Chains A and B, each alone.
Chain A
Amino acid sequence: MKTKSTRKTKAAALDRDHALYLLRSMIRIRRLEDKCAELYSAMKIRGFLHLYDGEEAVAVGVLEALTRDDAVVATYREHGHALIRGVSAGCILAEMYGKQEGCSRGRGGSMHLFDDKTHFYGGNAIVGGGLPIAVGLALADKMQNRPNVTCCFFGDGAVAEGEFHESLNLASLWKLPVLFVCENNLYAMGTALKYTQAVMDLARKAASYDIPSHAVDGMDVLAVEAAAKQAVEAVRAGEGPHFLECRTYRFRAHSMFDAELYRTKAEVEEWKKRCPIETFTQTLKSRGLLSEADLEKIERDVEGEIREAVAFAEACTWEPVEDLTRFVYSERRMS
């Protein structure tokens, strides 16, 4: 059994600029999601909307371990991943509005952010649907001798899908450069892990495919980053796939249609005490790396970024209906 216990944050020297970057990144996600909720209520955003509040440390910590050439595959709770990967908040919001300047030309919406330039291969509304594709992306890198890693995010719900098991087996069998990142927020939609999994230690499932696996405190950005860097390094060195279970919690409902009957307010409040942004802020302050003025500046900058993004999305345009059938098939026939 290669499963290792939760890793602890090292109290080693922390570069101030890097620390502020991590904090700022988490705050950018939180404020973007806050704005999405507001825009949803204002009916600017339609459909299903899944917000990432509480889980920011996972995307920020893991993505920090990747290079620009690495590929990312995410879930339908992916606004934050796209943002940190480098898709602008404006393009993300425009996509949710359904405007043609959105990263998927408004054809995808909230769950289908896609951006070829940043190797962000979605946004995927099928639980577990990203895993086989990540296997293929990694296979292509391996076959073409490119030193890239494919990072595949999925939730604890995906572990119940057949595609999860097929993908882990094949990635391990062929020693493909995939980092599987399970964002375990304890609920598959509204069903608790204990009601969906016979084996609740999810890292053990990866270990059963002979994939080195680790569980990490997903509320601790430094712990996530350290674990992800170590795993990515091993994957890039040709060791085959690794599995990282990030134990986290979503503070908001599953989607905007969710009465949250499956958990108590007390449980949510208890987890909110471990808010990754709050706790990291306190850590940095206690180490003398963050002043109130720093924090105010971050908040002010992010507020400006989001304000500009909303203005951008508002000013974007609807794709003419005449373009409706474009991009179903390629316009270029042969290569």
Chain B
Amino acid sequence: MQQLGMGQAVNQALREEMQRDSRVFIAGEGVGVSIHDSPMLPTAGLLGEFGPGRVKDTPVSEAAIAGLAVGAAAAGLRPVVEIMFNPFFTLASDMIVNHAAKLRYLSGGKSTFPLVIRMKSGAGFGAGCQHSHNLEAWVAHCPGLKVIMPSTPADAKGLLKAAIRDEDPVIFIEDMMLYFAPGPVPEEPYLIPIGKAEVKREGSDVTVVTWSKMLGVAMQAAAQLAEEGIDVEVVDLRTLVPLDKETILQSTRKTGRLVVLHEASRTGGFAGEICAVVMEEAFGSMKAPFRRVTGPDIPVPASPPLERFYIPDATKLVAAVKEIV
């Protein structure tokens, strides 16, 4: 099987969908001619294959980028636009929060807005807080948006293809560190359904719910804990909205213990939502208080030791699991 980074997997998904459907086009800052010339990046080579008519370099105008997606989707195209980094979403937030998310509802269900907004996210590059802040909880809070945060290259490819074919606005968040962590990606065409979590590791003692880059941390901690006789089940959400409650509840009812792990800062983070769902719907099965392992409530620091401390690691997760097992 081919080994690809997540950026390459995204690239394949974009290429396949653009080949399949002439309505699909991409736009964003440097999606055609980029300052970064690396085959590991998501839009590498697409300009050459599809031309400037469908691979559109835009000005540094996030509101216009997101807005053109809304308008073009309303008029029958399938835009896939890129907001370079998750924190830059704030510059496009009116178009995403007030328009993309709400216009279908405001049309009384008569119009659809099939668009994808891709964003890079994640700490680990020393880029500092205005490039590294994970804001998935902000978009997850907006009814009308679907939110995907894949953890593996294979998932990214199948989910992005599904997102492009979906009738609703999808926010697709790619952790940049994963661009450089190759993994197996099937060669034959496939889709992964939106809204389906995956149990990435089966276990019986405790459920760790996580997504995106933190899956690697969860798997590492699970391996460590296995050596100590603690059997961890790892649920990879993959999609935050719509949330696959069934898989979460099935797992937590089985293990009776829950730890939620995400990189984003703690207060108002999506872990709170997961805990609330389990509290409301599986309380009777739970044997211990829940734990959250998250980034601290600070802007992501650039300093290497501080940034390393910011990003949750296996040591912190192992400690949290041991508190409740």
Contacts and interface: CB of A to CB of B under 8 A. Distances in A.
Interface string B143-180: 11010000000000000001001111000000000000
A139 B98 contact: no
A163 B76 contact: no
B76 A107 contact: no
Contact of A140 (B72, B103, B162): B72
A134 interface: yes
Contact of B67 (A132, A150, A335): A132
A166 B61 contact: yes
B22 to A, nearest CB: 9
B107 A116 contact: yes
Interface residues of B, number: 46
Contacts of B143: 328
Interface string A81-106: 00000000000000000000011111
Contact of B71 (A102, A104, A139, A144): A139
B67 A163 contact: yes
B70 to A, nearest CB: 5
A139 B68 contact: yes
Contacts of A116: 107, 110-111
A263 B166 CA distance: 50
Contact of A173 (B59, B94, B106, B110): B59
B159 to A, nearest CB: 13
Contacts of A114: 103, 106-108, 110-111
Contact residues of B: prevailing secondary structure: mixed
A133 B109 contact: no
B107 A140 contact: no
A195 interface: no
B79 A136 contact: yes
A166 B63 contact: yes
Interface string B103-131: 11111111110100000000000000000
Given A132-B63, A173-B59, A327 B108 contact: yes
A123 B111 CA distance: 14
B109 A327 contact: yes
B75 interface: yes
Contacts of B168: 329-330
A115 B167 CA distance: 19
A311 to B, nearest CB: 21
A137 interface: yes
A167 B64 contact: yes
Contacts of B67: 131-133, 135-136, 163, 166-167
Contacts of A327: 104-105, 107-109
Nearest to B114: A335
Contacts of A155: none
A95 to B, nearest CB: 9
Contacts of A143: 25, 53-54, 72, 77
B74 interface: yes
Contacts of B70: 132-133, 136
Contacts of B166: 330, 333-334
Contact of A332 (B63, B111, B167): B167
A145 to B, nearest CB: 11
Contacts of A221: none
A116 to B, nearest CB: 5
A121 interface: yes
Contacts of B79: 136
A273 interface: no
B72 A122 contact: no
A105 B109 contact: yes
A282 to B, nearest CB: 40
A144 B77 contact: yes
B73 interface: yes
| Most chain A beta-carbon neighbours within 10 Å: one of B69, B79, B104, B110 | B110
A99 to B, nearest CB: 11
Contacts of B99: 124, 126, 129, 133
B61 A328 contact: no
Nearest to A146: B75
Interface in A168-208: 169-170, 173-174
A326 interface: yes
Nearest to A174: B56
Contact of B105 (A71, A107, A140, A333): A107
B191 to A, nearest CB: 8
B107 A136 contact: no
B3 interface: no
Nearest to B58: A170
A134 B167 CA distance: 20
Contacts of B59: 166, 169-170, 173
Contacts of B66: 132
5 contacts: A163-B63, A163-B95, A170-B61, A329-B167, A334-B167
Ranked 6 nearest A-B pairs via Cβ: A132-B67, A136-B71, A105-B108, A140-B75, A327-B109, A330-B167
Interface of B: 25, 53-54, 56, 58-59, 61, 63-64, 66-77, 79, 94-95, 98-99, 103-112, 114, 143-144, 146, 162, 165-168, 242
